[in-house]
Amino acid sequence: MFSEHLRQELEIRSYVISHIDEAVENGYIEIYYQPVVRTLTGKLAGMEALARWRDPVYGFLRPDQFIPVLEEERLIDKLDRYVIRECGRQLRRQIDAHRPIVPISFNVSRMDFQLMDVLSEIEAVVRENELPRDYLRIEITETAMVQDSDKILKMIDRFRGNGYSVWLDDFGSGYSSLNVLKDYHFDELKIDMEFLRAFNDTSRKIITSVVMMAKAIGIHTLAEGVETREQVRFLRSIGCEKIQGYHYGRPMPYDELLVHCQERHLRAETREEARIYEKAGLFNVIMASPVALFLDDGRNLYMAYENDAYRKVMKGVGISGRRAVNWIIHSLDDARKERLRAYADRVTRNRPCKVSETFLLDGRRLRVRAKTLAGLPGFHIHMAEIVDLTRDADSL
């Protein structure tokens, strides 16, 4: 049994080596796309391109049956060139169809840097399809950093210098994670799903620290391999910006993904939204003081996030949860609504300084200090700290 299995593995291996050209030319390689969701909004923020091989002889080949082989045999550039081209074409089709667009990220292997000029390849795809550069994101796996580190360091700088965002994939799976972060500048960290396999107190603390550290050094965060609602809730609570995993959808063909997003009410965020959320996303919400994030479209305020401490203060005044806060904001009488509006406008004008205001709520005095984290005319994100002054007076 074992040797039969081994024999077949070897057979597939040599088949892959001798048929990669054919597979690319004849379209046996298919690109699947997995949705990436922004935790703060629940909107579609991107997708990852993942290669699949549907073979006429062997049927469906798993990536681990062909990617390591292609890497070892120095043939991986054949696949990755094709994947990059397909991503570009897919984006062009979306633009032509006037469909909403989110960026696509694709995987680059360490070996690719030896086998091709990855940047020229991407530039050609961007030029041919007339794409904005920020529609394509580059994922480099952590283990790629171990060898040829000088060369890869230069490449990353070139990518970034040319306007491409570079992500560190599989963070935490290798051996040199922290060193990698010290020596290279990445735009986003993809936290490896292995961290989430054991979803316990220790792993939660590790993930919390990783997210805090990333924000402290100005790197965005994405958690992959997210499968449960509980994991989503946790990642949102610590301010992890994006989530990818079976919970929101498996990798699937593009057209299927469109249908999937429709069924799941996953709407694509706009580029302007993305820009604003990215900026606000670096704000650290894990702190002892009570903070909340408010979305402001110039008319209405909406609480999108509250940390534990904030929730506690609100509970103290008999308001439990974000939904209740949003309901109260929504049902304010005109005079109070106007006052809140005036306050929000003052916060926006005084950016980036904090602006204080005291509100009376059911006989209690709440002091709010807020500042605008990011925004464009007509849409801003504010962070607000809150103190229950009544309680302070009571306890004296």
224 is catalytic: yes
The radius of gyration computed from the CA coordinates of the chain, to the nearest angstrom, equals: 24
Q: Any contact of residue 388 with ligand G (CB under 6 A)?
A: no
The option from ligand G, Mn ion, none interacting with 63 (CB < 5 to 8 A, set by class) reads ligand G
Q: Length of the chain, please?
A: 396
Indicate whether 225 belongs to the interface with ligand G (CB under 6 A). Answer: yes
Which of 90, 107, 129, 231 touches Mn ion by CB under 5 A?
A: 107
Tokens of 79: 């696949």
Report CA dihedral (132, 133, 137, 138) to the nearest 10 degrees.
Answer: 150
Does position 109 interact with Mn ion (CB under 5 A)? The reply is no
One of 86, 139, 224, 385 is an active-site residue; which one?
224
Tokens linked to 332 = 């304010």
With binding defined as CB under 6 A, does residue 177 bind ligand G?
A: no
Question: What Cα–Cα distance (Å) separates residue 356 from each residue in 243, 285, 301, 360?
Answer: 34, 19, 17, 14
Q: Which does 375 bind (CB under 5 to 8 A by kind): Mn ion, ligand G, none?
A: none
Strand intervals (E) in the chain:
29-38, 44-55, 59-61, 104-108, 136-141, 165-171, 188-191, 220-224, 242-244, 291-296, 301-306, 355-361, 364-376, 379-388
Determine if 142 is a binding residue for ligand G (CB under 6 A).
no
CA-CA distance, 292 to 383, in Å (whole number)? 6
CA distances from 286 to 181, 207, 334, 342, 377 (A): 21, 12, 34, 28, 28
| Cα–Cα distances in angstroms (integers) from residue 190 to residues 9, 170, 193, in the given order | 30, 6, 9
Residue 83 interacts with ligand G (CB under 6 A)? yes
Per CB under 6 A, the list member of 35, 172, 245, 375 interacting with ligand G is 245
Number of residues that bind ligand G (CB under 6 A): 21
Closer CB to ligand G, residue 83 or residue 291? Answer: 83
**Contact status: 90 vs ligand G (CB under 6 A):** no
Q: Is 246 in the site for ligand G (CB under 6 A)?
A: yes
Residues 152-211 that bind Mn ion (CB under 5 A): 169
**Contacts to ligand G from residues 105-124, by CB under 6 A:** 107, 109
What residues between 34 and 73 interact with ligand G by CB under 6 A?
34, 50-51, 63, 67
Name which of 233 and 349 has its Cβ closer to ligand G.
233
Q: Which is nearer to ligand G, 79 or 303 (CB)?
A: 79
Using CB under 5 A as the binding rule, whether residue 139 contacts Mn ion is answered as yes
Q: CB 134 → ligand G: shortest distance, Å?
A: 20
- Rule CB under 6 A: choose which of 117, 148, 227, 273 binds ligand G: 227
Cβ closest to Mn ion, residue 181 vs residue 386: 181
* Nearer of residues 107 and 109 to Mn ion, judged by Cβ: 107
* Cα distance between residue 33 and residue 253, in whole Å: 6
Identify which of residues 136 and 226 has a Cβ nearer to ligand G in the complex.
Answer: 226
Between 61 and 381, name the residue whose CB sits nearer to ligand G. Answer: 61
**Residue 385 binds: one of ligand G, Mn ion, none (C-beta under 5 to 8 A by kind):** none
DSSP string, 292-346: EEEEE-SS-EEEEEE-HHHHHHHHHTT--SHHHHHHHHHT--HHHHHHHHHHHHH
Return the SS3 of 39: coil
For Cα atoms 279, 284, 287, give the angle at the middle one, nearest 5 degrees: 160
Residue 174 backbone zone (phi > 0: left; psi -120 to 50: alpha; other: beta)? beta
327 sits near ligand G (criterion: CB under 6 A): no
Q: Give the residue numbers marked as catalytic.
A: 224
List interacting residues with ligand G (CB under 6 A): 34, 50-51, 63, 67, 76, 79-80, 83, 107, 109, 169-170, 193, 224-227, 245-246, 251
